[in-house]
Each structure stands twice: as C-alpha cells, then as structure tokens.
Amino acid sequence: MNSNEPKCVPAGATSAGQGPENDWRAMSPDERKRALFNKQKDLLDTFLSNGAIDRRQYEKSLSCMAEKMVIELNKSEFNKN
C-alpha cells in the first residue's frame, strides 16, 4: 500500500486505532456473540418503536434469534415499547 493512499477506517473508529474493532478483538467468543445479539436486538427495538413490526413479530423474532444464537433471555430483555 502506498503511504500516500488514504486508509480505510471503519465507522466508529479513529485513525489512531481507537474504536470498536479493537474492543471486538479483545472480547471472548461469548462476549462477541452477546455483543452481536445486542446489536441485532437494538435493531428490532428500533423497528418496534417505529411501527415497522408489531409486538408479536418482535417477540417471535427476538425468541428465534436467541434460540439460534443460544442466548438465554430474561423477561426484562423484552422491550417495553
């Protein structure tokens, strides 16, 4: 790579190397899986709060996702929207 070419920096990261990708590498596989689950759950929360899906679809999607990722859910993790 030519030193004059711009470097690709992932969203949320800085060119100094401080960002989510460094946190990701430091996580255990279980922590990574939970972080991915939480990102996906946040997306479902957004869909529910904006009316893109209803409560039944939200709960079904969340349950299926948790089952496939082997994540144990608490009742408190079901969004109250």
Q: Please say whether the dihedral angle defined by the alpha carbons of residues 34, 40, 42 and 45, taken in this order, is positive or negative.
A: negative
- Whole-number pLDDT of residue 23: 82
- Whole-number pLDDT of residue 78: 66
Residue range 9-57, pLDDT digits in tens: 444 444 444 555 558 889 998 899 999 999 999 999 999 999 999 999 9
- Whole-number pLDDT of residue 32: 92
Domain coordinates in residue numbering, the chain: 30-77
- Judge contact between 12 and 22, C-beta under 8 A: no
Residue type, 8: C
pLDDT band with cut points at 50, 70 and 90 for residue 4? low
pLDDT band with cut points at 50, 70 and 90 for residue 81? low
